[in-house]
Amino acid sequence: DAAVCAPLPVLGRDVLVPLVTGGEVEYAALDIAASAPALQRVWDDVAAYAPYYGSVHRGAGYLSQLSTDLFESSRAEVARFLGCGEGDQVVFTRSTTDSLNLLAAALPADTRVFVFETEHHASLLPWEQRADVEVTYLDAPRTPGQAVETLERALAEREPYANALVCVTGASNVTGELWPVRELAAAAHAHGARIVLDAAQLAPHHPVDIAELDVDWVAFSGHKLYAPFGAGVLAGRADWLQAAEPYLAGGGASRTVARRADGGVDVDWHTTAARHEAGSPNVIGVYAIAAACKALTEAGFEGLVAREQQLVERVRAGLAEVPEVTVLSLFGDDAPRVGVLSFVVEGWNSSHFAAALSAEYGIGVRDGLFCAHPLVRTLLGAESQAPGECGAPEGAPGEQSLNAIRVSFGAGTPDEHVERFVAAVK
């Protein structure tokens, strides 16, 4: 019932693209799940700061001091945005992928990891990089309740263990469906496991509160949160991060370094977030993320969610009128989801369909397997899980392909883009 927000101003609304049918049209950016355009507010804040850019934690000069202050106040802003508590750290990374690889590197020896096969490769694959970590892959559930039951059963079967981690997405990058994060967190904790939330697709669409969801860590990317300047976040419990070897070794992560009498080197590493942030940090990227957090909070998530849900319903209803279209879903057509939907069109190669949306209507969507190959293969009812290239246009025009089309939209999407998309599919 929240008052519906107007679309937030984003960059790129004035980009015109040529159509094969002649003329040009405003580009409809309906692939924000891959990367979202910058919010105008983020761009303005970054532009206002840019002349004052300086090194972070590395200079006595005015601009270094200013940049250091902005970098650290951005950390505090992100911590507020995520509802972090006393024992939490906010580590700045390059992206969600980087954040989850950092956490994988920081796992205590012999941790058991539990992950659904439905995850994006960024949350599916980092754990295998650790030779001493046993990964249990869980089958795709067909209801949120089944997800919780599947996890509980797997945790119980593997007990006892000293340390366990569950990795789960908040909103699927393929179906947009919301996962029962609170319930999965409760199940993990009941079995003495920890849980990390891949919020890459949740944070741009919904408030993410670490304490309220009761998750141990959250990872997300700036470029999907309307802050496309190359930074990401891993936030959550400090203990494993403090105890782990630094993710990158170098300046900034080390408090003191001294030669030893035996000729070697002694390093005293920081135990703060700096431990995993060696090298000169991406202050612009981090500042942009904080600006996006502020802008979304001030705009009000309730109104943003209310409007996005109207767009979801519009797309659902529009696609439902086209008999050749099948919308992909694990939890059923009516399951709650963010503004991310994938579908296939009977008799069409998905890559050709997406190319036609671009060439004939100026609409940018994504086609492929969305870096979630096992999930898409399951959703498409593929007989085999044999490897296929991510996003490869398999098959000829007019021939059904083993990939799908994804449309995604959010806080900056005007109604007209969604209307044009629905009309184009029809």
The strand pairing partners of 341, in sequence order, are: 407
Asked if 337 interacts with ligand PMP (CB under 6 A), we say no
Instruction: Please identify which residue in 200, 210, 273, 338 interacts with ligand PMP, judged by CB under 6 A.
Output: 200
Q: What is the DSSP letter of 19?
A: -
Smallest distance, ligand PMP to C-beta of residue 323, A: 29
Cβ(122)–Cβ(96) below 8 Å: yes
Q: Which one, 215 or 422, has the nearer CB to ligand PMP?
A: 215
Asked if 118 interacts with ligand PMP (CB under 6 A), we say no
Asked if 408 interacts with ligand PMP (CB under 6 A), we say no
Considering only the stretches 61-69, 116-124, 156-164, 300-308, report the one whose residues sit in contact with ligand PMP under the rule CB under 6 A.
116-124
Count CB neighbours of 336 within 10 A. 12
Helices (H) and strands (E) in the chain, counts: 13, 17
Structure tokens at 373: 């190959």
Asked if 234 interacts with ligand PMP (CB under 6 A), we say no
Smallest distance, ligand PMP to C-beta of residue 388, A: 18
Structure tokens at 296: 């979304």
Smallest distance, ligand PMP to C-beta of residue 96, A: 4
- Non-local CB neighbours of 278 within 8 Å, separated by 6+ positions: 246, 247, 248, 249, 250, 251, 252, 253, 254
Smallest distance, ligand PMP to C-beta of residue 95, A: 3
Smallest distance, ligand PMP to C-beta of residue 398, A: 29
Instruction: Please identify which residue in 198, 216, 277, 367 interacts with ligand PMP, judged by CB under 6 A.
Output: 198
Asked if 350 interacts with ligand PMP (CB under 6 A), we say no
Considering only the stretches 102-110, 117-125, 242-250, 266-274, report the one whose residues sit in contact with ligand PMP under the rule CB under 6 A.
117-125
Which sequence positions are flagged as catalytic? Answer: 371
Instruction: Please identify which residue in 67, 68, 97, 358 interacts with ligand PMP, judged by CB under 6 A.
Output: 97
The mark string for 366-385 relative to ligand PMP (x by CB under 6 A, - otherwise) is: -----x--------------
Q: What is the largest CA-CA distance in the chain?
A: 77
Cβ(65)–Cβ(34) below 8 Å: no
Asked if 197 interacts with ligand PMP (CB under 6 A), we say no
Closest CA to 372 of 54, 103, 162, 125: 125
* Type of residue numbered 26: E
Asked if 342 interacts with ligand PMP (CB under 6 A), we say no
Q: Which one, 219 or 315, has the nearer CB to ligand PMP?
A: 219
> Whole-angstrom Cα distance, residue 140 to residue 126?
19
- Non-local CB neighbours of 101 within 8 Å, separated by 6+ positions: 126, 129, 247
Asked if 282 interacts with ligand PMP (CB under 6 A), we say no
Q: Mark out the alpha helices in 144-247 (DSSP H runs).
A: 144-158, 181-190, 210-213, 239-243
> What's the Cα-to-Cα distance from 212 to each of 85, 190, 343, 347, rounded to whole Å?
11, 16, 33, 45
Instruction: Please identify which residue in 101, 201, 378, 401 interacts with ligand PMP, judged by CB under 6 A.
Output: 201
DSSP reduced 3-state for 78: helix
Instruction: Please identify which residue in 67, 74, 96, 408 interacts with ligand PMP, judged by CB under 6 A.
Output: 96
Instruction: Please identify which residue in 95, 118, 342, 378 interacts with ligand PMP, judged by CB under 6 A.
Output: 95
| Interface positions with ligand PMP (CB under 6 A) | 95-97, 120, 122-123, 169, 173, 198, 200-201, 221, 223, 371
